[in-house]
Structure 1
Amino acid sequence: MTAPDAHPHVTLALDTATPFLTLALSWGTTVVTAAREVGRAHAEQLPEGVQELFGEAVLPLLADTIVIGTGPGSYTGVRVGASYALGLASVWGARVLGVSTLEALVSGDGPQGVSMDARKGNVYGAVYDVQDGVVTAVRHAPAKYALQDFQALLDGLPHRHDPVPDGLALLRAGLDHGAADWTLAYL
């Protein structure tokens, strides 16, 4: 008989690329998520939000893996999340995996387009195949489009424009295919 794992594999996911602070925490088969609109106050609210999430989970403030949304987003917003994740990873000895923030906008199953407002009639969008809330294939990679051109590209597929990012979708994408050699994307 083996003893239960004293420290289950814990994954923290965070995204600060949108006006929302999006977080998720998983261990074993349990997941806790949080998303709240913070405008431009990510730097002020991220540490407390992470502590609250670990407190809700009744876990010590320690993760083996950190998944970050790499944007697109504002220069400052994206960098706040990346800097915080890299700081935690250094202290915890955790790996950091990056995933496009657009993957946190998917929902359900099937092909779908997701986009974020990029101002002046433009969107930053992508078209994905999704199964069980996880991107399984990229039909059109994340890029900046005129809204009208992006809608034409969708050719009738469902389109999720500026939804609240889903921490669980971000977490699942990171664990499924997150990149260790990620780069940040800006609007």
Structure 2
Amino acid sequence: MEIRRFQGADDVPGVIRAHGRAWHTAYAELLPRRVLENVAVDPSPEDERRWLESLTPNPDGVFVASEDGDVVGFADVRWGDAEMKSFVGPDEAELKAIYVDPDHWGTGVGTALLERGLEALPTAVSTIRLEMLAGNEVGRQFYEGRGFERTERNEIELGGEAYETDVFSKRL
């Protein structure tokens, strides 16, 4: 397995596939089917364009895990001028996304992506925060096992309905 910087359009289909497969597996019991059906696994050209636009502005903070040339996971870490959620302070960073294809869960891919993302942060960043769906036990165990603590509860809207989220934080 190799952890490397995101390389643009060539990586996008694998990023979307890893994201979609992770969502469909992790959230199958938390979200209705109609919401999950809107999360792409086999990306269209439009899906690829949107994802490329969202990841390209953050070249220093997007990393992919590849195995035998295939993307099996990715992480998107944001700080400074990057677009972040309102719960992230000025000297903090956000783990906007980290997704690993479920076939690679438990193999160290997620940990390697997280570690690479943390290494990329400037020394002025004091805390990293993330938000995930409440009830995601796999995610909770992953983050708590790596020193994150739940610090807040929020809500997000998906498919026209509100869902509780947990904000996790880690002092650096």
Measured against the shorter chain, the TM-score band is 0.3 to 0.5
Bigger radius of gyration among the two: 1
TM-score normalised by length of structure 2: 0.33
